Amino acid sequence: MLGKDHVSLTLGTVFPFTIPLIFSDNSHPVYAFCLLVAAAIGSLIPDADSDEKPKLHYDFKVIYDIMVPLHKLIVFSFAFFNLKEKMNLQYVVEKQHRGVMHSPIGVFISSFVLTLLITIVGYLIFHGINATFISLLFLGLILGQLLHLLEDSCTVSGINWLFPFGTRELKGSIYTGNKIEGKRDIRPFLYKLFLLFFSAILLIFHSLGTIDVNESGIYLLIFAVVALIWGLILLTAKIDNDNLWIHDAKNVRKLERTVDRIGKQDVGRKRRDLRK
């Protein structure tokens, strides 16, 4: 999947959880912001082992610069174990970019090391540590990366979730590039739309007073709906039907632009409401 798809699907998944953080009586918008930024960064990290770097890797080159030595370190430390998939550890993947960074173990190690690095730098600058920020940073990085793996599990290359200890491959039928020239798979767009729609519904219900974001059960409700949406995403990603999913690239782009415009108008309206 493309870098921008990873960022938007990840933010679309994490954003509903930040709504209570932003709108409850005891709100912490800064915490929500920290979680979203960490998740966005996390959503780009696994592609550090990719041969074909997404454009966003060049826009935020610093993330990649940190991840390359980290990737090498993880590969080096794993080389001592007698692992089932040892041969695959170092493969510089060409068309299919799935190395150790595309595994839960790589996600955990890289999130841990990155959090540690940022904590040390933060401590040197501010002479103190904010435990909540550090926890949110770690949580965001882990979530962003695990969601990246879920998103890649929808593509034809798939993800081996047991890597490097075994093989349990989860794959779908979405091509990262275009399967047919001039045509595009509409699914990543539909998935974004689904997630966006849920956030919009939550915000509308909140403003109408239908749901109370102060209630403790709110996170459970959000989790249940997001899990349901992700169940649908993984299910439909497996359905290989060109007539259903592959459409004229121009029309898909037009649809994307329309949704963008509506989203921007909505944000503009909310800002004006807040100023009043």
Answer whether the bond into residue 188 is a cis peptide, omega within 30°.
no
By beta-carbon proximity to Zn ion, the closer residue of 5 and 152 is: 152
Interface residues for Zn ion in 79-118 (CB under 5 A)?
none
Q: Which of residues 22-61 bind Zn ion (CB under 5 A)?
A: 46-47
In angstroms, what is the minimal distance from the CB of 109 to Zn ion?
Answer: 16
The residues, any chain, with a CB within 8 Å of residue 219's CB and separated by 6 or more, are 17, 20
Least Å from the CB of residue 155 to Zn ion: 8
Strand-pair partners of 185: 246
CB of 152 to Zn ion, least distance (A): 4
> Locate tokens 């100023």: which residue?
275
DSSP letter string, 52-77: S--HHHHHTHHHHHHHHHHHHHHHHH
| Nearest residue (CB) to Zn ion, 5 versus 47 | 47
29, containing H or E segment = helix 29-44
Among the candidate windows 60-68, 151-159, 166-174, 200-208, which touches Zn ion by CB under 5 A? 151-159
What are the structure tokens assigned to 91, written together?
């493969």
Q: Which range binds Zn ion by CB under 5 A, 72-80, 147-155, 218-226, 248-256?
A: 147-155
Look up residue 31 and give its two tokens. 């915490």
Binding residues for Zn ion, how many (CB under 5 A)? 3
Shorter beta-carbon distance to Zn ion: residue 152 or 185 = 152
Q: Residue 195 CB, nearest distance to Zn ion (Å)?
A: 19
Smaller CB distance to Zn ion: residue 42 or 46?
A: 46
Nearest approach, Cβ of residue 201 and Zn ion (Å) = 29
Residue 152 engages Zn ion in binding (rule: CB under 5 A): yes
How many Å apart are CA 9 and CA 189, to the nearest integer? Answer: 9
State how far the Cα of 29 lies from the Cα of 44, in Å rounded to an integer: 23
Of 39, 169, 42, 43, which is closest to residue 98 (Cα–Cα)? 169
104 vs 122, which CB is nearer to Zn ion?
104
Residues that bind Zn ion (CB under 5 A): 46-47, 152
